[in-house]
Structure formats: C-alpha cells, structure tokens
Amino acid sequence: MGDNDQNEILELRATLTAKEQEITELRDKLEALNKAVATVRHDANNPLAVVLGQAQFLTTRIGGLPEDVNRRLKVIEEMSQRIRHTLNVLESFKQKPPVSQ
C-alpha cells in the first residue's frame, strides 16, 4: 500500500469520525427537542383541560345564562380545542432518533 493510499484512508477515517460526531450531536439535539415538546404539552394540557372542562360544565349544566355569556363560553371552548389541536400537531412532529449502527 502506497503513501497516497494510506493518506486517503486516514482522511476517510477523519471524515467518518467527524460525521459520526455530527450525528451524535444531532441525536442529542433531537432528544432535547423531544423532551421540550413533551414538557410543553404536559404543562399546557393540564390547565387547558381545566379551562375546557369548566367552560363545558357551565355551558351544559347551568341553564338560563345570558346569551352573551353563552357566546363567551363557546369561544373559550373553541379556543381551548384549537390549542389542544395545536399541541397534538406539535406531538406529531416529535421524532425518535435513528438507531445507532
């Protein structure tokens, strides 16, 4: 094996090592992002469930509310559902890191 071949092999190894390091860093970033998504979903879903539940309770259980109050409760319910949908979409972007080889 000549010097050129050995140099080429060393360069390829260095490139491979650098690429492996990049993959490791990207995997770590993806894992951190996934944890952040899970935290945001959890922290938002709990109070959201309370807000949505209370709006639904008032709408369905208490009769005779003024029409403007019913409209406001409906807006609260619709916006809560919209936030819930957005959080579910956010969850769908969460990915698992590729398996190490």
Whether 99 maps to a domain, the answer reads no
Residue 2 is predicted with a pLDDT of 76
What are the backbone angles phi and psi of residue 64, rounded to the nearest 5°?
75, 15
Express each pLDDT in 7-56 by its tens digit: 898 899 999 999 999 999 999 998 998 899 889 988 999 999 999 999 99
Q: Does residue 100 come out as left (phi exceeding 0), alpha (psi in the -120 to 50 range) or beta?
A: beta
Q: State how many domains the chain has.
A: 1
Whether 101 maps to a domain, the answer reads no
Whether 35 maps to a domain, the answer reads yes
How far apart are alpha carbons 44 and 89 in whole angstroms? 14
Express each pLDDT in 50-96 by its tens digit: 999 999 999 888 878 899 999 999 999 999 999 999 998 888 877 66
Residues of the domain holding 41: 3-93
